[in-house]
């Protein structure tokens, strides 16, 4: 970890960046995000299996401007990002939210993070996104740290659940999701924690007209969760943060995962994997699937 | 539970501002509904929600109440679609009021900007109905342009009255060829006419920017903080001191306000 | 204070009776307070952490209609809401949760009494249960409460051994509730339960609430707010899982061409458009101001107004926070403006 | 808001299955409806009068008409509303005829549906906002790309109408393919003779700025306001000094290193050259690739002989920018090269016909040069291989065209005619020669065209054989053309001295890249797409860009010329007003909440979305948002549905209006 | 509403240039199709947002049809290609969360396909009839609703009904 601290300190000292967005340890098996602006403070920085936040969520236009501003000049921001977080950054760059030249990506060779804080890192407590992860080395970075280690083995129970749901008849499926969505309290933590939910005003906050009913009754919850999933279709990079933070334990990532699988099936596209591939939303192919249409 | 009221008359004040003259559908409510100058009510356009405006007519006027609104958001747009004879909902009156009894035997200076004239008009008309109890009365009213001025008819009446001084101004660029009033922002006009500050109560209402720049001018002219009254119109929903959004410091604007003196406001966190 | 002993078996009989009479019985689970359908679901664990979501929604639902309307060409018909006055018994409420209704009562009853809240609150019967476990986010002892606090409970349970509880009758309401079941009660010894409660491990007080009160008054403009504002993501999870946050929104919804309802929904002061005016002006336009409002409201404004801290120290907000912002950490380090982690 | 409702019976067309009276009656019970009435013929003068009077009498703010399809009478009712003082966009039409009375039988069901349709329209009109037409300033100058006959015609027409023209031609001279032709069908008049005066006129026209040896680099902007960047390639000749005396050309020692492309590679040209003697402008070009000076730094013969100091070896490409209001694209065509068989090409080639392998197998343009009096053989028909006069000539039509297996499915349209012409020319020049034409069928639609073909057959004894040629090979100095006579039903073999292939017309190589530069769509071959195949054939789908000539599809000269004139008149119409009036159904961005993801930019088919910097009071850019250029937007609304934060609204069809319609169901 | 008299409520979102015009053609050709479906005209199929569909369901629609120009025929060149991608996704999503394909159908109908329009509307109506009411969604809709007392409710539906009754009396 000294390398990380050294690097971050250097960046700040040399004035290459205005701030470093990273993790700090709060207790033995728990970390939390921190924004560091002074070289001295870098000693708090860590990177380990407990760094499960996706810090790309902090890379909003407003924050980049705000944090990058120092002495009336604008600087780069450094961010510590797991390889999967880099996917989010890629997606954000593609959606014009980040200027690649404005950020300095400190990434790591990653072998997975925990599912829950406070418990040991092992196959049973492995974040579900890590189970199927294929990018243990980041696709884009400015500084690569850490060495390659093996990821613990675990069952891909999420996929099993998707399969299970797909086997249900439609009315059962509807009932399943309706009851799951019914738990929603509309705290919008899923939205807040999603790096790709960067809209200045969310569709659900639009009042003229009212797109989605803000009440958290059944159909309001249903509409919100469906549209949230739709807006992420083909954009979601699969960081699973929404699922993690949901206080009502709605299996949001099941839907996101399913839509990611469909994006791959229909259009051979996975979001955030390449800066060169055009985004799925906003592009089309004349040969796209036409079966749906009479 | 709101009372339903019928729109008796619609007055187009400016391209985007309207005044409704309302009468409760229920005669009993009509008799019971009493309010004081400065209080507000919650007006419902059923289907689109509730919105808070002050009651713009004078409490001395007993047959109807009036409210003026500028089309900004969902509710005001919806209200604007209504016709004479249609029904809206009213809850209220809520909030505190201008302590007119304390104003007696004093000079009064009214300063209003834009739609801020609505609460001022309520007190102003109330005061005019009790004209003898007050000393000199001055009103300064500014709007963005001539067409944005509201209560044009009443302004005319005010202007011809000898016992009040009426100053109407529009922002630079908003004047028309035949405009005979002042041109300039309210604080500047205020500075220019420099009214007497001794024994004078100021009633100030307008957009946050105007208030921000007017207060120092008033202080500069020697007005006392305790004598400057203004209304804060925060976003309100319930009007009952519950929903939490009008909360500034330990104050609920909808209950403890909307009328505050500058001295009171100075004690509050600067979040309005 | 009256103290009795009741066996677990008998307690369950009472519960069954409550359910059989058609009342609602709530008990805390890991996720939220749930309605007990079968008494075998009841756990009564003193060492459980507070559930993720509080029981607030049973007294202040996340969404509820306040009136129905039906439009015709010119007129509107309104229908008032009749609050369902079913009795609700919370069994095993955490001491931190037990007091929440009492705290909220002030707000819903000053000046104007909120019948929606009151009708439900009056139908609440809170049976508190001593708490024997805390984690790094718990801080009840810092907000004038404790794991053995009886505040807010009508009845209070203290496990004396595996099969028996000491039952303290705190309020008249509690007394009334338990009187039909007096046959189950055996006389208890206050000394005995006192010994137990005194030995309960309590979280160390992290801050002095009156110091915090003072500090907030003097530090409206503190760099601290900016720091936490940068980290906070503006969701309202903290407010929505909180057992005493009570802000709401009112919105109209049509459900057919002519009919609709006016809904009262939870709202959160951390949302950017909570205070947004229609004109575009926003008094609390940036997150640091909103977070400042939250802390001030809880530890200063509410105290000013109603003499109580708007916080029960349950730690739900910190436990659930997507970016692990810990309100205890922020408040307890308030006196120095240094960044806390450098110590 | 006071709404007037007008229900039309349309004679009995609507009222036979919809109870119009009841519809009108029920509409009265909807809030906001001030007046509701039914009438026999709403679109008739008395019907319109009824509407106008009601608007005045009841002080209506908006009207809903239940009648036929809006595609029929929306304009009528809007005009009626306007004349009564209502904004035309405060009018909604409920389609009670095409979508209701005509398609349903049951009175009850269709009346019910009619009521619901009316209700939807009423709810929509309540949310409608008055819209005003958008005015866009127009730069009254046109850019013509391509200096062939179409470009020349378009340039002349526009210039003669009084507007300035910038004519860009990538070759050193204008004239295009038409200048290469010997004679033209069906009149057999000399192509050069009719074209040259036009070329001169272009050159001398005070309002035409001719830019030869130039290419369009970039086009920005939108209808009425294009900004065009043009690269003028270095000729290495100072145009102002050059008098066109041609001394440099005659003295150039490099004589046989470069093929003369004007002569379709049947001759050579020097390193410094003009494409052909009548070239406009008559200024040579130095070909860097063959000129000795550029290779060794020596020679400089031309420099020495030029007494006007016009040779400028150091000349560089220059970039010119022009502001224009309209663009006419007339880039023409080229011929299918039957040898080409590269993997990625859609064209599969005709290796079996031996073009390129045997020098006496020519394509149509090559034969034009051989038949041309100014051509390499001075108009005598001779074999390129040995200079002998061919006694037997085989023409093959549809080489490449109408042949899916070779990559092209369309008909090149002019081959039937020019092959007949070429066969006639041959017969006129070689009286004892035999001309055979292999054809699929003869397409001679056009004035005097069929007669022309008949003349070839009957007077000039050209022998037409219906069938395809399978193979051509050389045998004893003859070319054996093996084919089939499908009429006689037997194989044919002709030992021709020369074979002419009427190869397909295809777009220029760079058509696709040009289309992308200027932002117009093109088909899979590279032909530019017209806005509508029947009703808007000379407009591209991008407003303000028009098409002329063979760049759109194969065309003969009269068609190209008429299309050019049509395109010119489109430009002239555009220039008739100082500002351009456009329908206000355009999208608009709410800049306060736009998150700047620019998905709208990605999906906009018209490139109407731009990046706009939003500045604070100190002039510092604090965010970038999307901005929709109202001059370019065509109002499809794809951006509105794509926008995740719903920051874009399409005027006239905004989301609030659509939600209101749904709610009224 | 009792089962036998139930008629499905169907909403169609159609583009102005192809399907709406195709529907016009069906009219001018006097083709017959069921009256259950109401058209909402938009400029291009590319401008139809998935929320529109949910809104329609929220307002009690039993089925929704989305229709535009055939690929490559879009009046705006590419709007329908973007639409197609959007619907591919949205349909998969709805399918996953339990809304059957038949509830939300898609078609390309050109301005010349009046017959196809009539056929598609007939098919969609029959499909939805076979599926029955969209009860699962309607159940959500009916949460927090109230029956207005009969004496108060002299409004929309009854008025409509009454006017039909008059007809039968006539």
Q: What is the pLDDT of residues D607-634, one digit of tens each?
A: 889 999 988 888 888 888 999 988 888 8
pLDDT at D222 over 90: no
Q: What is the DSSP letter of D389?
A: P
Do D342 and D327 share a structural domain?
no
Residue A275 has a CB neighbour count (10 Å cut-off) of 13
Residues D467, D488: Cα–Cα separation, whole Å: 10
State the average pLDDT over residues E143-164: 58
pLDDT digits (tens, 9 = 90+) for B139-192: 999 998 888 888 888 888 888 888 888 999 998 888 888 888 888 899 888 888
HSE of E120 in the Cβ direction (CA atoms, 13 Å)? Answer: 27
pLDDT at C338 over 70: no
Torsion angle (degrees, nearest 10) of CA D84, D87, D90, D91 = 50
CATH superfamily of B3-94: Translation factors (2.40.30.10)
Count of the separate structural domains present in chain E? 1
State the average pLDDT over residues B197-224: 88
According to DSSP, the residues that pair with B14 across neighbouring strands are B17
Instruction: Tally C-beta pairs within 8 A across B and D.
Output: 11
Instruction: Let me know if D431 is exposed, middle or buried by CB neighbors in 10 A (0-12, 13-18, 19+).
Output: exposed
Residue by residue, DSSP assigns C95-118 as: HHHHTHHHHHHHHHHSSS--HHHH
Do C215 and C142 share a structural domain?
no
Do C187 and C317 share a structural domain?
no
State the average pLDDT over residues D103-126: 92
Place of tokens 């009426």: B166
pLDDT digits (tens, 9 = 90+) for C53-75: 999 999 999 999 999 999 888 88
Two structure tokens written together for C178: 């338990």
A118 located within any domain: yes
% residues pLDDT > 70 (chain E)? 85
Cβ atoms of residues D85 and D50 within 8 Å: no
Do C150 and C15 share a structural domain?
yes
pLDDT at D424 over 50: yes
The C-alpha angle D135, D141, D144, rounded to 5 degrees, equals 120
Residue D592: which pLDDT band, with cuts at 50, 70 and 90?
confident
pLDDT at E160 over 70: no
Place of tokens 């070429």: D422
pLDDT digits (tens, 9 = 90+) for A245-277: 999 999 998 999 999 999 999 888 999 998 988
Do C289 and C170 share a structural domain?
no
pLDDT digits (tens, 9 = 90+) for D270-326: 999 999 989 999 999 999 888 989 888 888 888 889 888 899 998 999 999 999 999
- Across the interface, whether the CB atoms of A210 and B73 are under 8 A apart is answered no
State the average pLDDT over residues D502-510: 91
Q: Tell whether B138 lies on the interface with C, counting CB pairs under 8 A.
A: no
Closest CA to A77 of A95, A62, A59: A59
| pLDDT score of D405 | 83
Cβ contacts of B52 within 8 Å, gap of 6 or more:
B40, B41, B42, B43, B233, B236, B239, B254
Residues A149, A156: Cα–Cα separation, whole Å: 20
Which of D32-64 are b and which e, b meaning 16 or more Cβ less than 10 Å from the residue's Cβ?
A: bbbbbbbbebbbeeebbebbbebbeeeebbbbb
Strands E104-108 and D183-184: unpaired
Residues B102, B96: Cα–Cα separation, whole Å: 14
Higher pLDDT, A99 or B257: A99
Residues B210, B206: Cα–Cα separation, whole Å: 6
Do A212 and A125 share a structural domain?
no
Dihedral sign from CA coordinates of B154, B159, B164, B168: positive
The C-alpha angle A136, A137, A141, rounded to 5 degrees, equals 140
Closest CA to C306 of C297, C314, C315: C297
| pLDDT score of E9 | 93
Do D33 and D93 share a structural domain?
yes
Two structure tokens written together for A247: 């206080």
% residues pLDDT > 90 (chain C)? 43
Residue A1: which pLDDT band, with cuts at 50, 70 and 90?
low
- Across the interface, whether the CB atoms of E106 and A172 are under 8 A apart is answered no
Residues D299, D302: Cα–Cα separation, whole Å: 8
Do A137 and A12 share a structural domain?
yes
HSE of C26 in the Cβ direction (CA atoms, 13 Å)? Answer: 28
> What phi and psi values does residue D248 have, to the nearest 5 degrees?
-60, -40
Place of tokens 């802390």: C295
pLDDT digits (tens, 9 = 90+) for A100-149: 999 999 999 999 999 988 888 888 889 988 988 888 999 999 999 988 88
Residues D302, D271: Cα–Cα separation, whole Å: 10
Count of the separate structural domains present in chain A? 2
| pLDDT score of D575 | 93
Least confident of A282-286, C240-244, D313-317: A282-286
What is the residue range of D83's domain? 3-127
Q: Is the peptide bond before B258 cis (omega within 30 degrees of 0)?
A: yes
Do C184 and C214 share a structural domain?
no
% residues pLDDT > 70 (chain C)? 97
**Which residues in B151-257 belong to E strands, given as ranges?**
164-170, 182-183, 200-205, 228-231, 247-248, 251-252
- Among candidates A35, A214, A216 on the partner chain, residue whose Cβ is nearest the Cβ of C231: A35
- Across the interface, whether the CB atoms of D69 and E46 are under 8 A apart is answered no
Mutate to test the interface with A, among E48, E54, E86, E133 (most CBs of A within 10 A): E54
Cβ atoms of residues D332 and D527 within 8 Å: no
Domain ranges of chain B: 3-94, 100-231
Residues A254, E97: Cα–Cα separation, whole Å: 10
pLDDT at C86 over 70: yes
D156 located within any domain: yes
> What phi and psi values does residue E155 have, to the nearest 5 degrees?
-100, -145
Q: Tell whether D647 lies on the interface with A, counting CB pairs under 8 A.
A: yes
Count of the separate structural domains present in chain C? 2
pLDDT digits (tens, 9 = 90+) for A45-85: 999 999 989 999 999 988 888 888 888 888 899 999 999 99
pLDDT at E166 over 60: no
A282 located within any domain: no
- Across the interface, whether the CB atoms of A61 and D596 are under 8 A apart is answered yes
What is the residue range of C278's domain? 209-249+265-335
Do D172 and D81 share a structural domain?
no
What is the residue range of E133's domain? 10-169
The CA distance from B200 to the nearest CA of chain A, in Å, is 43
3-state secondary structure of A104: strand
Residues D524, D512: Cα–Cα separation, whole Å: 9
Cβ atoms of residues C322 and C334 within 8 Å: no
With respect to CATH, is domain B100-231 assigned 3.40.50.80?
yes
Touching B (3+ Cβ pairs <8 A), the chains are A, C, D
**Which residues in chain A belong to E strands, given as ranges?**
17-27, 30-36, 45-46, 69-70, 73-74, 76-81, 103-108, 143-145
Do C193 and C113 share a structural domain?
yes
- Across the interface, whether the CB atoms of A187 and C253 are under 8 A apart is answered no
What is the residue range of A102's domain? 2-145
| pLDDT score of C1 | 61
- Among candidates C71, C257, C280 on the partner chain, residue whose Cβ is nearest the Cβ of D664: C257
Place of tokens 């639902």: C61
Residue E26: which pLDDT band, with cuts at 50, 70 and 90?
very high
Cβ atoms of residues A11 and A17 within 8 Å: yes
| pLDDT score of E158 | 41
Do C131 and C216 share a structural domain?
no
C70 located within any domain: no
Residue D536: which pLDDT band, with cuts at 50, 70 and 90?
confident
Place of tokens 């206000």: D584
pLDDT digits (tens, 9 = 90+) for D355-385: 888 889 999 999 999 999 888 998 899 999 8
pLDDT digits (tens, 9 = 90+) for A123-136: 888 998 898 888 89
| pLDDT score of E153 | 41
Do A59 and A20 share a structural domain?
yes
Cβ contacts of C218 within 8 Å, gap of 6 or more:
none
Two structure tokens written together for D3: 């709404």
Two structure tokens written together for D658: 């659509």
Closest CA to C9 of C148, C165, C156, C195: C165
E4 located within any domain: no
Do A66 and A96 share a structural domain?
yes
pLDDT digits (tens, 9 = 90+) for C131-189: 989 988 999 999 989 999 999 999 999 998 888 899 999 999 999 999 999 889 888 88
| pLDDT score of B267 | 85
pLDDT at E146 over 70: yes
Residues B205, B182: Cα–Cα separation, whole Å: 19
Do A129 and A71 share a structural domain?
yes
Do D202 and D62 share a structural domain?
no
Mutate to test the interface with A, among C230, C262, C272 (most CBs of A within 10 A): C230
| pLDDT score of E163 | 44
Instruction: Tally C-beta pairs within 8 A across C and D.
Output: 15
Chain D residues with CB-CB distance to E21 below 8 A? 71
Two structure tokens written together for A282: 């906003």
Q: Residue E135 is part of a domain; what is its CATH number?
A: 3.40.50
């Amino acid at each position: 970890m000294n390398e990380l601290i050294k690097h971050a300190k250097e960046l700040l000292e040399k004035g290459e960046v205005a701030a470093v967005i990273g993790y700090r340890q709060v207790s033995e098996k728990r970390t939390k995000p921190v924004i560091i602006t002074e070289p001295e403070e870098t000693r708090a920085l860590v990177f380990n299996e407990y760094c499960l936040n996706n810090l790309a969520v902090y890379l909003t236009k407003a924050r980049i401007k705000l944090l990058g501003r120092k002495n009336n000049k604008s600087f780069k921001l450094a961010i510590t990002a797991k390889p999967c977080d880099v996917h989010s950054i890629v997606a954000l760059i593609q959606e014009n939210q980040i200027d690649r030249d404005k950020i300095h990506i400190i990434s790591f060779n990653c072998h997975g993070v925990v599912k829950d804080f406070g418990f040991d890192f092992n196959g049973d407590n492995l974040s579900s996104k890590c189970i199927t992860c294929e990018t243990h080395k980041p696709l884009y970075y400015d500084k690569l740290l850490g060495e390659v280690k093996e990821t613990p083995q675990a069952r891909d129970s999420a996929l099993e659940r998707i399969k299970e749901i797909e086997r249900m008849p439609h009315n059962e499926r509807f009932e399943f999701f309706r009851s799951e969505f019914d738990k929603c309290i509309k705290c919008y933590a899923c939205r807040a924690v999603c790096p790709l939910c960067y809209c200045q005003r969310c569709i659900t906050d639009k009042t003229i007209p009212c797109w989605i009913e803000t009440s958290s009754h059944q159909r309001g919850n249903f509409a919100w969760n469906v549209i949230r999933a739709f807006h992420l279709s083909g954009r979601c990079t699969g960081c699973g943060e929404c699922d993690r933070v949901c206080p009502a334990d709605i299996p949001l990532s099941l839907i996101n995962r399913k839509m990611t699988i469909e994006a791959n099936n229909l259009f051979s596209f996975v979001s955030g994997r390449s800066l060169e591939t055009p985004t799925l939303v906003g592009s089309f192919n004349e040969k796209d699937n036409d079966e749906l249409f009479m | 539970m709101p009372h339903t009221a019928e729109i008796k008359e619609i007055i187009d004040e400016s391209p985007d501002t309207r005044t409704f003259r309302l009468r409760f559908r229920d005669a009993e409510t009509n008799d019971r509904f009493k309010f004081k100058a400065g209080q507000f009510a919650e007006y419902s356009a059923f289907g689109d929600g509730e919105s808070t405006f002050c009651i713009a007519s004078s409490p001395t006027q007993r047959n109807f109440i009036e409210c003026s609104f500028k089309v900004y958001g969902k509710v005001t747009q919806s209200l604007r679609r209504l016709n004479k004879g249609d029904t809206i909902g009213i809850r209220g009156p809520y909030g505190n009021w201008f302590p007119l009894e304390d104003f007696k035997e004093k000079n009064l200076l009214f300063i209003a900007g834009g739609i801020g004239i609505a609460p001022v008009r309520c007190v102003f008309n109330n005061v005019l109905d009790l004209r003898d109890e007050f000393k000199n009365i001055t009103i300064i009213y500014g709007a963005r342009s001539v067409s944005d001025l509201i209560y044009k008819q009443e302004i005319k009446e005010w202007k011809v009255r000898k016992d009040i001084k009426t100053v109407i101004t529009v922002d630079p660029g908003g004047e028309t060829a035949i405009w005979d009033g002042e041109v300039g922002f309210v604080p500047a006009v205020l500075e220019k006419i420099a009214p007497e500050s001794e024994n004078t109560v100021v009633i100030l209402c307008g957009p946050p920017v105007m208030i921000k720049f007017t207060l120092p001018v008033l202080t500069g002219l020697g007005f006392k903080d305790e004598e400057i009254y203004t209304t804060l119109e925060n976003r309100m929903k319930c009007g009952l001191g519950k929903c939490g959004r009008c909360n500034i410091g330990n104050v609920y604007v909808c209950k403890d306000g909307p009328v505050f003196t500058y001295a009171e406001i100075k004690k509050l966190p600067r979040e309005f | 204070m009256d103290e009795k002993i009741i066996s677990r078996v008998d307690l369950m009989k009472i519960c069954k009776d409550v359910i059989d009479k058609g009342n609602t019985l709530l008990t805390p689970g890991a996720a939220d307070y749930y309605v007990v359908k079968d008494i075998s679901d009841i756990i009564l664990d003193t060492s459980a952490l507070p559930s993720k979501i509080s029981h607030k929604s049973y007294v202040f639902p996340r969404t509820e209609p306040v009136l129905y309307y039906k439009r015709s060409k010119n007129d509107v018909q309104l229908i008032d809401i009749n609050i369902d006055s079913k009795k609700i018994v919370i069994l095993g409420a955490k001491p931190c949760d037990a007091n929440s209704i009492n705290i909220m009562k002030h707000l819903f009853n000053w000046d104007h009494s909120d019948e929606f809240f009151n009708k439900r609150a009056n139908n609440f019967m809170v049976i508190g249960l001593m708490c024997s476990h805390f984690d790094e986010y718990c801080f009840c002892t810092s907000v004038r409460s404790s794991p053995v606090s009886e505040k807010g409970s009508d009845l209070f349970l203290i496990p004396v051994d595996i099969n028996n509880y000491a039952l303290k009758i705190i309020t008249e309401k509690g007394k009334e509730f338990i009187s039909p079941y007096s046959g189950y009660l055996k006389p208890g010894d206050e000394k005995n339960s006192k010994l137990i409660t005194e030995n309960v491990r309590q979280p160390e007080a992290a801050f002095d609430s009156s110091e915090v009160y003072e500090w907030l008054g003097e530090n409206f403009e503190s760099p601290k707010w900016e720091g936490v504002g940068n980290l906070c993501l503006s969701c309202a999870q903290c407010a929505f899982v909180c057992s005493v946050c009570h802000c709401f929104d009112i919105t109209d919804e049509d459900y057919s061409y002519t009919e609709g309802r006016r809904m009262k929904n939870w709202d959160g002061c951390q949302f950017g458009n909570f205070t947004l005016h229609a004109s575009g002006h926003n008094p609390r336009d940036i997150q640091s101001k909103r977070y400042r409002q939250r802390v001030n409201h809880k530890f200063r404004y509410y105290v000013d107004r109603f003499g109580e801290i708007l916080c029960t120290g349950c730690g739900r907000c910190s436990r659930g926070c997507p970016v692990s912002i810990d309100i205890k950490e922020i408040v307890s380090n308030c006196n120095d403006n240094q960044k806390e982690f450098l110590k | 808001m006071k709404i007037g409702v007008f229900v039309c019976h349309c004679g009995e067309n609507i009222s036979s299955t919809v109870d119009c009276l009841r519809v009108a009656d029920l509409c009265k019970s909807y809030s906001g409806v001030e007046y509701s009435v039914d009438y026999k013929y709403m679109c008739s003068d008395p019907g319109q009068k009824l509407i106008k009077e009601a608007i005045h009498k009841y002080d209506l703010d908006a009207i809903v008409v239940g009648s036929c399809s809006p595609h029929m009478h929306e304009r009528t009712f809007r005009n009626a509303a306007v004349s009564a003082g209502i904004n035309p966009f405060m009018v909604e039409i409920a389609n009670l005829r095409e979508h209701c009375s005509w398609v349903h039988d049951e009175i009850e069901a269709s009346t019910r549906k009619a009521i619901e349709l009316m209700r939807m329209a009423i709810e929509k009109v309540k949310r409608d906002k008055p819209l005003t037409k958008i005015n866009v300033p127009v730069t009254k100058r046109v850019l013509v790309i391509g200096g062939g006959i179409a470009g020349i015609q378009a340039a002349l027409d526009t210039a003669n109408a009084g507007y300035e023209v910038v004519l860009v031609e990538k070759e050193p001279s204008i004239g295009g393919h038409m200048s290469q032709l010997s004679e033209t069908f069906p009149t057999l008049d000399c192509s050069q003779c009719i074209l040259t005066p036009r070329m001169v006129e272009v050159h001398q026209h005070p309002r035409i700025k001719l830019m030869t040896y130039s290419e369009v680099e970039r086009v920005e902007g939108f209808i009425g306001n294009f900004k065009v960047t043009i690269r003028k390639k270095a000729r290495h000749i100072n145009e102002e000094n050059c008098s066109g005396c041609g001394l440099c050309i005659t003295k150039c020692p490099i004589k046989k290193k470069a093929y003369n492309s004007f002569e379709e590679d049947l001759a050579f040209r020097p390193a410094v050259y003009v494409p052909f003697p009548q070239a406009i402008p008559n200024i040579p070009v130095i070909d860097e690739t063959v000129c000795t000076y550029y290779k060794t730094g020596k020679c400089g013969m031309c420099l020495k002989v030029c007494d006007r100091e016009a040779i400028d070896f150091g000349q560089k490409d220059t970039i010119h920018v022009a502001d224009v209001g309209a663009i006419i694209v007339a880039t023409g065509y080229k011929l299918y090269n039957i040898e080409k068989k590269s993997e990625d090409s859609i064209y599969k080639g005709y290796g079996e016909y031996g073009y390129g392998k045997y020098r006496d197998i020519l394509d149509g343009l090559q034969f034009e040069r051989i038949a041309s009096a100014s051509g390499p053989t001075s108009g005598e028909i001779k074999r390129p291989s040995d200079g002998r006069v061919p006694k037997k000539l085989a023409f093959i039509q549809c080489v490449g065209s109408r042949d899916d297996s070779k990559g092209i499915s369309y008909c090149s349209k002019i081959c039937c005619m020019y092959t007949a012409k070429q066969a006639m020319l041959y017969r006129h020049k070689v009286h004892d020669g035999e001309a055979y034409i292999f054809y699929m069928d003869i397409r001679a639609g056009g004035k005097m065209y069929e007669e022309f073909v008949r003349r070839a057959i009957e007077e000039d004894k050209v022998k037409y054989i219906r069938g395809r040629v399978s193979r051509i090979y050389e045998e004893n100095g003859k070319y054996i053309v093996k084919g089939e006579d499908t009429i006689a039903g037997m194989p044919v073999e002709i030992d021709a001295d020369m074979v002419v292939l009427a190869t397909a017309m295809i777009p220029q190589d760079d058509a696709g890249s040009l289309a992308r530069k200027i932002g117009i769509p093109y088909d899979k071959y590279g032909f530019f797409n017209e806005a509508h195949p029947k009703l808007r054939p000379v407009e591209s789908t991008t407003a303000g860009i028009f098409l002329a000539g063979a760049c759109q599809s194969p065309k003969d000269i009269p068609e190209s010329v008429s299309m050019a004139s049509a395109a010119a008149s489109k430009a002239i119409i555009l220039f008739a007003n100082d500002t351009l009036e456009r329908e206000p159904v355009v999208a608009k961005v709410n800049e306060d909440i736009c998150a700047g993801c620019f998905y709208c930019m990605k999906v906009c088919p018209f490139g109407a979305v731009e990046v706009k910097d939003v500045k604070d009071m100190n002039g510092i850019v604090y965010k970038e948002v999307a901005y929709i250029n109202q001059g370019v937007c065509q109002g499809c609304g794809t951006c509105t549905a794509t926008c995740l934060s719903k920051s874009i609204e399409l005027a006239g069809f905004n989301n609030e209006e659509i939600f209101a319609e749904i709610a009224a169901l | 509403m009792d089962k036998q008299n139930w008629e499905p409520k169907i909403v169609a979102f159609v583009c102005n240039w192809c399907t709406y015009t195709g529907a016009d053609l069906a009219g001018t050709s006097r083709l017959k199709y069921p009256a259950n479906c109401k058209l909402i005209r938009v400029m291009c199929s590319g401008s139809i947002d998935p929320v529109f569909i949910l809104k329609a369901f929220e307002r009690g629609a039993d089925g929704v049809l989305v229709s535009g120009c055939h690929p490559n025929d879009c009046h705006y060149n590419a709007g329908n290609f973007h639409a197609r991608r959007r619907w591919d996704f949205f349909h998969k999503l709805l399918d996953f969360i339990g809304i059957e394909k038949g509830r939300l159908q898609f078609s390309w109908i050109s301005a010349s396909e009046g017959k196809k329009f009539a056929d598609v509307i007939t098919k969609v109506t029959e499909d939805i009839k076979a599926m029955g009411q969209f009860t699962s969604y309607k159940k959500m809709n009916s949460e927090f609703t109230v029956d207005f007392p009969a004496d108060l409710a002299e409004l929309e539906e009854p008025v409509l009904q009454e006017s039909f009754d008059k007809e039968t009396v006539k």
